[in-house]
Amino acid sequence: MGRAFVYVILGGGVAAGYAALEFSQRGIAPGELCIISEEATAPYERPALSKGFLLPEAPARLPAFHTCVGSNDQRLTPKWYTEHGIELILGTQVKSADVNRMTLTTATGETISYKTLIIATGARALKLEEFGVRGSDAENVCYLRNLADATRLVNIMQTCNEENAVVIGGGYIGMECAAALVTNRIKVTMVFPEAHCMARLFTPKIADFYEAYYESKGVNFIKGTVLSSFENSSDGKVTAVVLRDGTRVPTNMVVVGIGIRPNTGLFEGQLVIEKGGIKVNGRMQTSNSSIYAVGDVATFPVKLFGNEFRRLEHVDSARKSARHAVSAILSPDKTSDFDYLPFFYSRVFTLSWQFYGDNIGEVIHYGDFLAGRFGAYWVNKSRIVGAFLEGGNREEYEAIAKAVKLKIVAQDKAEVEKLGVEFVTKV
């Protein structure tokens, strides 16, 4: 048995939703496109899962955050897909792919063929077991990647009011979940191996500000170490985490955010893999010209960084790379190479920051770190290549983005430091 489509999007996450919108806006015939997703839900804005979805008051729930509301575009409900003749094949895992036959085989044994395939399989959360720790399948240990995980996390949080949680990992998930737990009146201890939080992006000075803010909300940090094991009750729940130095931290629940791995497995040995992702060119086209890859799973050339290949794990990149691939497929002559400005952001408590570009070179901090109005520029070869700003307004964020895009000259360090965000709002 089998079905055939002209276009198949494999994966039904953020990138799939934005690709579907782009297909419909550029014009395809009903029945030409399908999306195959392991998840039982139409594409949604994954960032909502660690923010609005976890709020104790008026939490965000589907259908409110289906793509593409995250970029203030249309909200694509299941009805929208039906009305646009786009088939959603949900709750369906693809188990194998044959790029020569141009087919995918699902867990139920169905073969789905394509003329053009977009791989949008995203990534999976790394498990503690991959670092030699056992027992993260206990009923009060949570990971957070999809709606099912978020629903489970909410249910567990609701049983832990005024109790304790340990958060393992000091990256995006760790920081956003710790803030959500505190908002849900749960006492949090964060444990991570680095000297400060968000080590992939923050400087020690930036991290100091956020750590002090979290501490003011009651969060306790245990840095420079990892857990070695869990202690469990007779009914299997984790009751404490034991750290490498033997410290025991009692807890009622655990949230783990220790990074991700892109879902490339179906294509290993069939497509070129680079930096852990599926390598694509500036049209998001893989080493097989009928196959494109977008979002977290794609490693693409970043023009701004001299076409260095990067794999970015952020929603803006997923949205824009997906739209770009569809443009390259449907309007090849009018589509030039993807020219992407890397953009990361987060919102926790009443704080909100944005970062554009690359965090290499010398760092110039500016602003008032006590008042929470500060930022930083990364300067490489006398030019601004990265910019961070906490608590900015729309014009200011646009200005730092533009400064990075133009790589404006920043020779006088003292002047840059003194003017801060004004150094770029004048550009």
Contact partner, 170, from ligand FAD, ligand NAD, ligand ISD, none, Cβ < 5-8 Å per class: ligand NAD
Q: Nearest distance from residue 29's CB to ligand NAD, in Å?
A: 35
Contact partner, 291, from ligand NAD, ligand FAD, ligand ISD, none, Cβ < 5-8 Å per class: none
Q: Nearest distance from residue 315's CB to ligand ISD, in Å?
A: 5
Closer Cβ to ligand FAD, 173 or 385, answer by number: 173
For residue 68, is the peptide bond before it cis, meaning its omega torsion is within 30 degrees of 0? yes
Binding site for ligand NAD (CB under 6 A): 50, 131, 168-174, 176, 192-194, 199-200, 226, 257-260, 313-314, 344-346
Q: What does the angle CA 124 – CA 125 – CA 126 come to, to the nearest 5 degrees?
A: 115
Q: In what order do the strands lie in the sheet with 383-390?
A: 343-348, 351-357, 383-390, 373-380, 362-368
Q: Which amino acid appears at position 142 of this protein? A: C
**323 counts as binding ligand ISD under rule CB under 6 A:** no
Pick from 3, 4, 6, 52 the residue near ligand ISD by CB under 6 A: 52
Between CA 188 and CA 190 the distance in angstroms is 6
**286 counts as binding ligand FAD under rule CB under 6 A:** no
401: left (phi over 0), alpha (psi -120 to 50) or beta: alpha
* # chain residues binding ligand FAD, by CB under 6 A: 35
**51 counts as binding ligand ISD under rule CB under 6 A:** yes
Question: Could you give the 3-state DSSP secondary structure of residue 425?
Answer: helix
Q: Nearest distance from residue 295's CB to ligand FAD, in Å?
A: 2
Closer Cβ to ligand ISD, 43 or 169, answer by number: 43
- C-beta of residue 295 within 8 angstroms of C-beta of residue 330: no
Between CA 169 and CA 157 the distance in angstroms is 18
**390 counts as binding ligand FAD under rule CB under 6 A:** no
Piece of 44-52, 125-133, 258-266, 273-281 that binds ligand ISD (CB under 6 A): 44-52
Pick from 81, 122, 386, 410 the residue near ligand FAD by CB under 6 A: 122
Instruction: Say which residues have a Cβ less than 8 Å from residue 408's Cβ, sequence separation at least 6.
Output: 383, 384, 424, 427
The tokens describing 407, both together, are 């790589």
**70 counts as binding ligand ISD under rule CB under 6 A:** yes
Pick from 93, 158, 233, 393 the residue near ligand FAD by CB under 6 A: 93
Residue 43 exposure: Cα atoms within 13 Å on the Cβ side: 35
Between CA 120 and CA 266 the distance in angstroms is 12
Which residues of the chain form contacts with ligand FAD (CB under 6 A)?
A: 11-16, 36-39, 46-47, 49-50, 93-94, 120-123, 144-145, 263, 266, 295-297, 313-316, 318, 344-346
